[in-house]
Structure 1
Amino acid sequence: MDQLTLDPARTALVLIDLQNSNVKRELAPHSAEKVVGNCVLLAQEMRERGALVVYVRVLVNELPALPADSPMRPPGAPAAPPDAAQLAPEAGVEAQDVVIVKRQWGAFYGTELDQLLRRRGIDTLVMGGIATNFGVESTARAAFDRNYKLVFAEDAMSSMEGEAHHFACGTIFPRMGRVRSTRTLIDALQAGTGAA
């Protein structure tokens, strides 16, 4: 594993779906409390270094309800409560952060995210959020297609099943970028600037 350095001026922390509907879920292998806590630590460190922090939330009642063998919301299920799509208070959003609203799993489709990042000269994304193999992976795949360098904060994301998280972090993400712990990423930020 090579040494990781991050240039805050060219790096954005992208936190996926830390909203009320997700932070109340039972997650594995990391609890929602641990994921949110690590995301907050990363966001604080990134802000202190002048890096961009992006929170993404999904309008859960506007997600497509296409035919599927195991749909996220079964046909006829009641709509999510009005606050389900709101970012959780414990997620620590601050006034200078960017909030992206999406209607799909991925944060690039139908949003201004790519344009916003490119206008700021961002070429590296640090990824975290809920859930690893849904919103995080979908966003990461789109970022990879757009040639962003990717870093995955393994313990700042989780899923509904530990096996799905481990598969993404052990098999998919290492082929797209670098998988590191929150502590390693904070150490890299504190060590100074450079190219990821």
Structure 2
Amino acid sequence: MTEHTLILARTALVLIDLQNSNVKRELAPYTAEQTVGNCVLLAQEMRSRGAMVVYVRVLLNELPVPLADAPMRPPGAAAPPYDASELAEMAGVEATDIVVTKRQWGAFYGTELDQLLRRRHIDTLLLGGIATNFGVESTARAAFDRSYKLVFAEDAMSSMDAEAHHFACKHIFPKMGRVRSTRALIDMLHAGTGDA
């Protein structure tokens, strides 16, 4: 696949579900500290270049509880604590960032995200967050269906299962866009090449 140039004025960093409930989970292959730390590094780099930074959070109490073989929250389970849906302090949200609230895994359905991106002429998304194979993948699939170009920061995302993370990063995301490390993306931004 040929490389393309990242035009920062048309690129947004979209970070999925870096909220209290997720950063307290045991994650793999990267810990919450590693994952969020890489997300923060990317956010700082993008902000310093005037690029759009979006944090997405999910209202846990409003997530659907389907009849499923392995639901995320079994029917009748205690409601999450009041602050579980709040973005974690360690995520480093700044006043200039955009915060989008969702009520399902993906960040597009039922939110203003697509409109916010299109009004700013964004056509490329750089994605990270928790969890790789839930919120990040669901958002990526919806973005792909809407013809956004995608770049995945592989070590700025993690899951509750390392195998699920690796499967998405090796078999799903490369078919939708480019998978890069945080370091590679930051080096590219420092070099000013814009090649992802």
Q: TM-score, normalised by structure 1?
A: 0.97
Q: Partner of 1:33 in structure 2?
A: 33
1:115 equivalent in structure 2: 115
Contact 2:188–2:194, Cα closer than 8 Å, also in 1: no
Give the match's secondary structure for 2:84.
Answer: helix
State how far apart, in whole Å, the 2-side matches of 1:147 and 1:2 are.
17
Match of 2:163 in 1: 163
Deviation at 1:187, TM superposition (A): 1.4
Partner of 2:42: 42
Give the C-alpha shift of residue 2 in structure 1: 5.1
Q: Deviations over 1:58-90 (max 9, x none)?
A: 000100011000000011100000000000000
Give the Å deviation of 1:192: 2.0
1:3 deviates by: 4.8
Structure 2: runs of 5 or more not aligned: none
Please tell me the residue identity of whatever aligns with 2:32: A
Q: Contact 1:133–1:165 (CA<8 Å) still a contact in 2?
A: yes
Q: Which letter maps to 1:53?
A: V
Q: Which amino acid aligns with 1:130?
A: I
Q: Secondary structure at the match of 2:9?
A: helix
| CA gap 1:7/1:97 in 2 versus in 1, 3 angstroms | same
- Alignment gaps of 5+ in structure 1: none
Equivalent residue letter for 1:120: R
Structure 1 position 15 matched with structure 2 position 15: yes
1:6 is displaced (CA, Å) by 2.0
Q: In structure 1, what is the equivalent of residue 154 of structure 2?
A: 154
Once the two structures are TM-superposed, the CA of residue 5 in structure 1 deviates from its matched residue by 3.8
Alpha-carbon displacement from aligned partner over 1:69-112 (angstroms, at most 9, x marks no partner): 00000111000000000000000000000000000000000000
Question: Is contact 1:131–1:160 with CA below 8 Å preserved after alignment?
Answer: yes
* SS of 2:135 mapped into structure 1: helix
Q: Identity, % of aligned pairs? A: 80
Equivalent pair of 1:124/1:148 in contact (CA under 8 Å): yes
1:142 alignment partner in structure 2: 142
CA–CA distance in structure 1, aligned partners of residues 191 and 115 of structure 2: 29
SS at match of 1:84: coil
- Contact preservation (8 Å) 1:7, 1:195: no
Aligned residue number for residue 127 of structure 1: 127
Contact 2:3 2:195 in 1 (8 A): no
Q: Is the 8 A contact 2:129 2:158 kept in 1?
A: yes
Cα distance between partner residues in 1 of 2:76 and 2:112: 32
8 Å CA contact retained: 1:8, 1:189: no
User: What code does the residue aligned with 1:30 have?
Assistant: Y
Match of 1:183 in 2: 183
For the residues of structure 2 that align with 1:116 and 1:195, how far apart are their CA atoms?
Answer: 24
Residues 5 and 188 of structure 1 are in contact (CA less than 8 Å); yes or no, is this contact kept in structure 2?
Answer: no
One-letter amino acid of the counterpart of residue 116, structure 2: L
TM-score for the superposition, normalised by structure 2: 0.97
